[in-house]
Amino acid sequence: MDKYVDIAIIGSGVVGSSIAYHLSESRQKEIIVIDKGFPLSGTSGSTQAWVWVHNKSPSWYGELSMYSAELYPFLEKKIGDVEYKRTGGIAPFFDEEDREKALKLAEKQAEVGIKVEVLNRNQVLEKEPVLSSKIAGATYSSIDGNVNPFRLVELYIKAAKKNDVKFSFYNPVIDIKKESGFFRITTKNEGTYTAEKIILAGGPWTKELGSFLGIDIPVKQVRGQILVTEPLAPLFRHTIAGMRQTDNGEVLIGYSKEEVGYDRRTTMEVIQDTAKMAVDYIPALANANLVRSFSGVRVIPEDGFPIVGEISNIKNAYLAVMHSGVTLSPLVGTLMAELLLEGETSIDLGRLSLDRFEKKSNGAVVQ
């Protein structure tokens, strides 16, 4: 016999587990989270995990990121220490011509309350003496920071479990059908679940989940390769576009972008380019030993912005798919809980709806 739940969430990465936790706070619903692997086997286990705001544009997107960053200290009070650090963020530029762009960014972000400073070389070096003197300037904001994604996902799950959310790991969803108003979710290892509401939070694999329901979710997969140094003495304290230093001293470096599907190999070419970028920014890194590299698959919606909300032609089916899911997870979890439990959200989700692609392509994308 099918197992019944009120809400089934597919995917236990940072997005799915945040939604599960936030939904569970009211303890109103029976919830299950189903994952084909373990919680950090997807993108959330292979990320830089900056909580990054200041140069996200257009400014409405920066504003959402800022609200999410603002939620982190409160989240920590509720679920525990996720090693969130508001380090301030520096995005350097090497070319004086980029100053104009930086000033425009600062002006736009100020309109939504994000304070961005445009620094000259000396001001940058004052903040972070380890940066290269070849840098022409940088944008800076105190709102940026980073978090430990492993602790974050682990503690979302722990808190959700405490509120009676069930998790089913190593259990791929292989089909989803809507029958008589309910979703029948067929899994490989634990039979079928019937759910009143379903949330697709499958990260890069959400496209495949959408195909079970006959919808095309316009996302692409973009590989990112990251280098990790040996633990070093504290070298820099800000989150610097391209790298951050973790609590144990490792420096995580990289922001490569390659459209190679789900291929998670690392390549010598990108490793070399990334190492060169690191030394261009921070010459002292030339002396650091690299101990490993890893890669992850970003899920990037076609227009770059999150897709969050109910699928308009499939009542009670919801999507939560995005890049920058680490930054956005506290806000997305909060808004999805509002949407599913109260039917409305404190911030309008209209801009993030799947329908925006339909409008653009005149009905070609959403079936």
Ligand X SMILES: Cc1cc2nc3c(=O)[nH]c(=O)nc-3n(C[C@H](O)[C@H](O)[C@H](O)COP(=O)(O)OP(=O)(O)OC[C@H]3O[C@@H](n4cnc5c(N)ncnc54)[C@H](O)[C@@H]3O)c2cc1C
Interface with ligand X by CB under 6 A: which residues?
10-16, 34-37, 41-44, 46-50, 52, 172-173, 201-205, 209, 224, 226, 296-298, 322-327
> Smallest distance, Å, CB 202 to ligand X?
3
- What is the SS3 assignment for 128? coil
> Smallest distance, Å, CB 351 to ligand X?
18
Nearer to ligand X, 99 or 264 (CB): 264
Q: From CA 53, how far away is CA 41, in angstroms rounded?
A: 26
| Cα dihedral across residues 205, 66, 104, 118: positive or negative | negative
> Smallest distance, Å, CB 250 to ligand X?
15
> Smallest distance, Å, CB 10 to ligand X?
5
**Joined tokens for residue 185:** 């979710």
Nearer to ligand X, 104 or 292 (CB): 292
> Smallest distance, Å, CB 173 to ligand X?
4
Nearer to ligand X, 103 or 260 (CB): 260
> Smallest distance, Å, CB 211 to ligand X?
10
Instruction: Output the CA–CA distances (angstroms, integers) from residue 231 to 250, 252, 276, in the order listed.
Output: 4, 10, 19
> Smallest distance, Å, CB 221 to ligand X?
10
Q: From CA 45, how far away is CA 251, in angstroms rounded?
A: 16
Instruction: Output the CA–CA distances (angstroms, integers) from residue 187 to 213, 310, 320, in the order listed.
Output: 15, 23, 20
Nearer to ligand X, 12 or 59 (CB): 12
Backbone angles phi and psi of 182, in degrees to 5: -120, 155
Nearer to ligand X, 120 or 186 (CB): 186
Q: From CA 177, how far away is CA 352, in angstroms rounded?
A: 25
Nearer to ligand X, 52 or 183 (CB): 52
Nearer to ligand X, 217 or 226 (CB): 226
Nearer to ligand X, 173 or 271 (CB): 173
Backbone angles phi and psi of 356, in degrees to 5: -60, -30
Residues 6+ apart with CB under 8 A from 216: 207, 210, 365, 366, 367
> Smallest distance, Å, CB 126 to ligand X?
25
Q: From CA 336, how far away is CA 322, in angstroms rounded?
A: 14
Burial profile 230-251: b = 16 or more Cβ within 10 angstroms, e = fewer: eebeebbebbbbbbbbbeeebb
Instruction: Say if CB 143 and CB 114 are below 8 A apart.
Output: yes
Instruction: Say if CB 289 and CB 215 are below 8 A apart.
Output: no
